[in-house]
A and B are shown apart, each in its own frame.
Chain A
Amino acid sequence: VNERDPLVALRLRDVDAAWKIDTDDELRRFHMSAEPSDDRAPHPRRRGIANVTLLGLAVVCLLVALVLTTRGTTAPTISEASRQPGVQPAPGIATGTGGQIAANPGSSLDAIDGAGANDIWAVGETHGKSGTNHSLVLHWDGTGWTTTTAPDVGGLIAVDAISPNDAWALGYTGLLHWNGAEWTTQALPRGNYVALSASGPGDIWVAGTRNGPFIGANSRGLSSVAAHFDGSHWTVMRPPNPGTRDDYLTGIVALSPTDVWAGGYLVDLGKGSAEASSLTMHWDGQGWSVVAAPNPSRSLNVIWGMGSDGAGGVWALGDYRASDRHLRALVFRWNGQSWVVVDVEGTSTWSAQAVGGTPSGPVWVVGSPATSSLAIANCNETTCDTVVPPTEFDVTASSIFAAAPDDAWIVGVSRGQRSTPLIEHWDGSHWIEADVPLVTGT
Chain B
Amino acid sequence: MCAVSLPPAYTWQIGRGGGNRTEDFDELFRAQFPTVARSLGLVVGNREEGIELAQEAFARACARWDRYQSPEHVRNSVMRIGVNLARSEARRRKKFSNTAIETLPDEGHPSEGEDTPSRLVIVDALRTLSDRQRTCIVLMDYAGMDSREVAGVLRIPSGSVRTHVVRARRRLRLLLDEGTEEAHL
User: How far apart are the CA atoms of A345 and B66 in the complex, in Å?
Assistant: 50
The answer to whether residues A19 and B38 also contact, given A9-B142, A271-B183, A299-B112 and a CB cut-off of 8 A, is: yes
Beta-carbon contact of A130 and B81 below 8 Å: yes
Beta-carbon contact of A192 and B176 below 8 Å: no
Closest Cβ of chain A to B133, distance in Å, is 12
Q: Is A360 an interface residue (CB 8 A)?
A: no
Beta-carbon contact of B59 and A33 below 8 Å: yes
The answer to whether residues A209 and B96 also contact, given A34-B4, A325-B112, A326-B105 and a CB cut-off of 8 A, is: yes
Set B30, B147, B172, B176: member contacting A2, Cβ < 8 A: B147
Against B, the Cβ 8 Å flags (1 = close, 0 = not) of A153-192 are 0110100000000000000100000000000000000001
Tally of contact residues, B, Cβ under 8 A? 79
Beta-carbon contact of A14 and B122 below 8 Å: yes
The answer to whether residues A99 and B29 also contact, given A19-B38, A19-B41, A304-B94 and a CB cut-off of 8 A, is: no
Beta-carbon contact of B100 and A265 below 8 Å: yes
The answer to whether residues A194 and B62 also contact, given A246-B98, A271-B183 and a CB cut-off of 8 A, is: no
Closest Cβ of chain B to A440, distance in Å, is 16
Q: Is B21 an interface residue (CB 8 A)?
A: no
List B contacts of A4 (CB < 8 A). 140-141, 144
Closest Cβ of chain A to B98, distance in Å, is 7
Set A16, A275, A319, A370: member contacting B119, Cβ < 8 A: A275
Beta-carbon contact of A11 and B176 below 8 Å: yes
Closest Cβ of chain A to B4, distance in Å, is 5
Beta-carbon contact of B92 and A157 below 8 Å: yes
Beta-carbon contact of B47 and A11 below 8 Å: no
The answer to whether residues A26 and B88 also contact, given A35-B4, A248-B96, A321-B103 and a CB cut-off of 8 A, is: no
Tally of contact residues, A, Cβ under 8 A? 77
Q: Is B14 an interface residue (CB 8 A)?
A: no
Closest Cβ of chain B to A71, distance in Å, is 21
List A contacts of B74 (CB < 8 A). none
Q: Is B120 an interface residue (CB 8 A)?
A: yes
List B contacts of A18 (CB < 8 A). 47, 109-110, 120
List B contacts of A417 (CB < 8 A). 4, 59
List A contacts of B99 (CB < 8 A). 275
**Which residue in chain B gives the minimum CB-CB distance to A416?**
B59
List B contacts of A30 (CB < 8 A). 29, 55, 58-59
User: How far apart are the CA atoms of A129 and B114 in the complex, in Å?
Assistant: 45
Set A9, A209, A299: member contacting B141, Cβ < 8 A: A9
**Which residue in chain B gives the minimum CB-CB distance to A273?**
B117
Set A11, A194, A299: member contacting B94, Cβ < 8 A: A194
**Which residue in chain A gives the minimum CB-CB distance to B3?**
A34
Q: Is B70 an interface residue (CB 8 A)?
A: no
Beta-carbon contact of B59 and A271 below 8 Å: no
User: How far apart are the CA atoms of A326 and B166 in the complex, in Å?
Assistant: 39
Beta-carbon contact of B141 and A272 below 8 Å: no
User: How far apart are the CA atoms of A192 and B141 in the complex, in Å?
Assistant: 28
Closest Cβ of chain B to A407, distance in Å, is 27
Set A7, A99, A192: member contacting B96, Cβ < 8 A: A192
Against B, the Cβ 8 Å flags (1 = close, 0 = not) of A358-386 are 00000000000011100000000000000
Q: Is B108 an interface residue (CB 8 A)?
A: yes
Against B, the Cβ 8 Å flags (1 = close, 0 = not) of A16-39 are 101111011011011101111000
Against B, the Cβ 8 Å flags (1 = close, 0 = not) of A125-159 are 10101111100000000000000000000110100
**Which residue in chain B gives the minimum CB-CB distance to A396?**
B93
Q: Is A300 an interface residue (CB 8 A)?
A: yes
**Which residue in chain B gives the minimum CB-CB distance to A324?**
B105
List A contacts of B42 (CB < 8 A). 12, 15
List B contacts of A325 (CB < 8 A). 105-106, 112
Beta-carbon contact of A20 and B92 below 8 Å: no
Beta-carbon contact of B147 and A1 below 8 Å: yes
User: How far apart are the CA atoms of A246 and B56 in the complex, in Å?
Assistant: 30
**Which residue in chain A gives the minimum CB-CB distance to B42?**
A15
Name 5 interchain pairs, CB-CB below 8 A, sorted by A. A130-B81, A130-B84, A131-B88, A195-B94, A271-B182
Chain A interface residues (CB < 8 Å from chain B): 1-2, 4-5, 7-9, 11-16, 18-21, 23-24, 26-27, 29-31, 33-36, 45, 99-101, 108, 110, 125, 127, 129-133, 154-155, 157, 172, 192, 194-195, 209, 220-222, 246, 248, 250, 265, 267, 271-272, 275-276, 299-300, 302, 304, 319, 321, 324-327, 351, 370-372, 417-418
